Amino acid sequence: MSEGYSNRELIEALRAQRTQGVRGGIYWKTQIDLAYNSNRIEGSRLTKDQTRSIFERGRVQGSATVRDIKETDNHFMMFDYMLDTLDEGTNIEGIRTLHRILKAGGSHDDGAGAWKLVPNEVGNIRTVAPAQVGYEVGRLVDTYNGYKRSGKTVGLLQVLAFHVQYERIHPFLDGNGRTGRCLMFAQCLQNDIPPFIIYDDDKDEYMQALAGWNPDNTAPFVSFCERLQQSYQEEYLYLLDNTYLSVAQDIDRSFEDMCSQPSLGDEAKDARAAVQREGWPGKGAVER
């Protein structure tokens, strides 16, 4: 990765800042911006400030649906699971667990972690029939991992090819875009490719690039994502200079805690405590 930082440094910073509870750092900014934009692309009406409030306090002010609030908090946990499992690569169990975390606590029809049971489409494009989902996802994962095992370098083109095919399979009833974009971020980190966030303001261009992708027309999506890579490097990577808490930050944080800083709501605290106590839901229990 350019800008003088490797992805290993970025990964270490994201993990360290999560553990240390650094506010305003690259982990904080990436979590909020990725959740806000990825959810907005899929129809969430939460504002950026509401998303930040859920991340920091587990609560939200103003009008918001229970579903938007729940899936935003779940998105934060999905990102954390992704960080924790980067060394495991891309696999079916991991994909289904990402979805299970994102959709946990939703309605029965959301089918958390389960392949879709009814046909769906994306952007007026037909997707893979439910009966073929398990096979097609397995084939996609095997092809991607086979490319890596052959000794070839996975670059942005291969990551985007995976994403396009994943979205055209559309393996779940809902949550395909958000899990797919989280997978893209993970695959960039795993392959020392500059990561990026797709902004809600760019939704139309993103959808057009997905729809128009074919072996002879990869340039629009590649160029689109290269621009977003540059944006992430310019707007986020400078925060790597502040990976560790200074003594002053430590004092400030302790003082805030003593002053009864608002905490997570009971439901969010219970969910995160369960993850710490029992591990991620369904870990090790999913088969192809």
pTM: 0.84
Termini Cα distance of the chain: 33
Q: For residue 93, which amino acid is it? A: E
What are the pLDDT digits (tens) for 213-271?
A: 999 999 999 999 999 999 999 999 999 874 444 434 554 555 455 554 444 555 555 66
Q: Which CATH architecture has domain 7-278?
A: Orthogonal Bundle (1.10)
Alpha-carbon span 8 to 193, nearest angstrom:
11
- Over 80: is that where the pLDDT of 282 sits? no
| Average confidence score pLDDT of the chain | 88
- Residue 243 is predicted with a pLDDT of 42
- Residue 269 is predicted with a pLDDT of 54
Weakest mean pLDDT among 99-113, 134-148, 153-167, 173-187 = 99-113
Q: For residue 78, which amino acid is it? A: M
* Contacts (Cβ under 8 Å, ≥6 apart) of 149: none
Residues of the chain with pLDDT > 70: what percent?
81
Residue 285: pLDDT band by 50, 70, 90 thresholds? very low
- Residue 288 is predicted with a pLDDT of 32
Select the highest-mean-pLDDT range: 78-87, 106-115, 240-249, 259-268. Answer: 78-87
- Residue 274 is predicted with a pLDDT of 59
Residue 149: pLDDT band by 50, 70, 90 thresholds? very high
Q: Which pair of tokens denotes residue 36?
A: 């806000």
- Residue 255 is predicted with a pLDDT of 47
In the chain, domain spans: 7-278
Q: Which position has the token pair 């540059």?
A: 230
Query: Are the beta carbons of 245 and 20 closer than 8 angstroms?
Result: yes
> In this predicted model, which residue has the larger pLDDT, 232 or 274?
232
- Residue 106 is predicted with a pLDDT of 79
> In this predicted model, which residue has the larger pLDDT, 53 or 256?
53
